[in-house]
Amino acid sequence: MTDADGLTVGQVATALALTVRTLHHWDEVGLATPSLRTNAGYRLYTAADLERLHRIVVYREIGLGLEQIRAVLDEPDADVALALRGQRDEVTRHLGRLEQLRTGLDRMIEAHERGILLTAAEQAAIFGPEWNPDWPAMARRRYGDTVQWQQYAERSASRTPDQWRELTAAMTDLDAELAAAMTAGDAPGSERADELVERHRTAVSGFFPVSRSMQVCLGRMYEADPSFTAHYERLSPGLTSWLRRSIDASACAHGIDPETAAWE
């Protein structure tokens, strides 16, 4: 091809894997303007035009903006190396952000599959001797297709061992206060019992959001599930029933019929 020859916009677009719209835009902003015209007034790109376009494509692919490219190509005192170093630094920062994103995605995937991102030793140290490391896998098999498991996994993905310790300590303290309130004779529906029921709902909501209606369902589950019953009965005989009745009484006070309460 010689300078006397020329390529149409469509031919150049095909040759450089660009769109005609892109070439028109570059023409409009004065970045790459065809040098020739046909007798009918159509613009044609010369060999020199095509070489400029090749350079624009290269610089665009490494992330330079159009004004940066214009400076590199047209300003005689432009420091090309400086512009490229700046772009390299931006790429490095972007790669760092992408690496953080990949790490977050890996943790999210693992949390959805495992539930708790702690080693067996960390689980034993944080959750205590009663903890069964198989429980998260059992919970996933049972609840893995629920919204609550997804919420649980999303929170677990970003939870640190220290945050697990804080959450576990809060649950342990609450359990002790529940047992103490029952032993002291605080009846379901009393001010003290209602306060503890609300604290219980807040604590469980650390794993996934729990409404009062859902809390009623949890109270039913505590009585029906041997592992939960054993946990509360070890704290104080009769505590499972007391907690369930206290949850029911609090629900009634908030206009919820425990008999028709549903998991939301």
Helices (H), the chain: 9-16, 20-28, 47-61, 66-74, 80-114, 120-127, 135-143, 147-157, 161-183, 191-204, 212-224, 226-235, 239-253
pLDDT for position 4:
52
Distance CA 56, CA 33 (A): 12
What is the pLDDT at residue 200?
97
Reported as a pLDDT band with limits 50, 70 and 90, residue 1 is: very low
Please give the average per-residue pLDDT across 149-176, as a whole number.
94
Give residue 18's identity as a one-letter amino acid code: L
Q: Based on C-alpha coordinates, what's the Rg of the chain?
A: 33
Q: Answer yes or no: is pLDDT of 3 > 90.
A: no
Residue with tokens 């159509």: 42
pTM: 0.67
Which long-range contacts does 204-211 make (Cβ < 8 Å, 24+ apart)? 206/155, 206/167, 206/170, 207/151, 207/152, 207/155, 208/147, 208/148, 208/149, 208/151, 208/152, 208/155, 209/151, 211/264
Rounded mean pLDDT of 101-108?
92
* Interacting residues of 6 by C-beta distance below 8 A, sequence separation 6+: 34, 35, 36, 38, 44, 45, 46
In sequence order, what DSSP letters do the residues of 36-103 get, joined into one string?
Answer: EE-TTS-EEB-HHHHHHHHHHHHHHHTT--HHHHHHHHH-TT--HHHHHHHHHHHHHHHHHHHHHHHH
pLDDT the model gives residue 146:
92
Mean pLDDT, all residues of the chain: 92
The angle at the Cα of 177, spanning 160 to 126, to the nearest 5 degrees, equals 25
Which amino acid is located at 151 in the chain? Q
Measured distance CA(241)–CA(229) in Å, rounded: 9
